[in-house]
Amino acid sequence: MKIKMFFAALILGVVIACGGGSTVDTDIAMPVWKTHCQLCHGADGKLGLNGAKDLTASELSLEERIQVITKGRNTMIAYENTLTPEQIEEVAKYTMSLKQ
């Protein structure tokens, strides 16, 4: 029984560790979030200031979020000339973590 539990935990750990590369690099994402996103979206993604969407309810894929951050949408400005592609991807991943 202990051996089965060990292997189940080991497999679960490997699956989590190899989870498709969607782990957020918070060293990159958090400074970007706090500087460029938090004012309108709020610390928890729900603020909705200036028409900002509630990110906890968003159904956008990671790729769609990257596109919105890069090109902007409605009143949200484009960040393609402000942030690096890596910063954009990491903050997009961070917004995925806000989903309820």
Q: Residues 48-99: pLDDT tens digits?
A: 999 999 999 999 999 999 999 999 999 999 999 999 999 999 999 999 999 8
Does the pLDDT value for residue 15 go beyond 90? no
Question: Residue 47 pLDDT > 70, yes or no?
Answer: yes
Give pTM, 2 decimals.
0.78
* Span 21-28, average pLDDT: 90
Task: Retrieve residue 13's tokens.
Answer: 């750990």
What secondary structure does DSSP assign to 33-54, as a single string?
IIIIIHHHH-TTS---GGG---
